[in-house]
Amino acid sequence: AIRAADPHLEVILGHFLTNEVRLPRADGAGLVRVVRTEEKGSDVNIATHLLHDAHRGAMECAVLITNDSDLLEPVRIVRQEIGLPVGILFPVANAGRKPSAELLQQASFVRQIRSSLLRQCQLPNPVPSPTGAIFKPAGW
């Protein structure tokens, strides 16, 4: 949908792994089988492209939409060693949520993205594409 809405954007995907695992019950009464889904690769891909773009001079400033402190080191390298600003925008699902303290220390600037603004920035539903309309899932 993003590619169809703006073909100038580069979309770099991670992937999801789903595994059945056995985990302890919260009450301590043995183990239960659960399906665990994990997102893999997105933070590594963001870090790699951030560093690559900074090193080759392909940006003047980076803005990451995240609250993931796993990105602390690439943000630090781009700011301190390459000398480019890196801003952090983080979505706020509830009013009390705070940005990552670690990212606050390294970011050039930090801004919250309010839920009301996120609602205003949604793609149209449906998104027209060459292969047919792309509809937003009902649960979104």
- Provide the residue-wise pLDDT of the chain in tens; the chain has 140 residues: 888 888 888 888 888 999 999 999 999 999 999 999 998 888 999 999 999 999 999 999 999 998 889 999 999 999 999 999 999 998 876 667 788 899 999 999 999 888 888 888 888 899 998 899 999 888 87
Token pair for 25: 């019950």
* pLDDT value at residue 80: 96
**Residue 40 and residue 15 in contact, taking contact as beta carbons nearer than 8 Å:** yes
| Residue listed under structure tokens 């649960």 | 139
How many CB atoms lie under 10 A from the CB of residue 79? 17
Q: What is the DSSP letter of 122?
A: P
Indicate the pTM of the whole model. Answer: 0.77
* Gap between the Cα atoms of 52 and 69, Å rounded: 19
What are the residues facing 88 on neighbouring strands? 64, 110
What's the pLDDT at 94?
A: 66
- pLDDT of the residue at 95: 65
pLDDT value for 93: 67
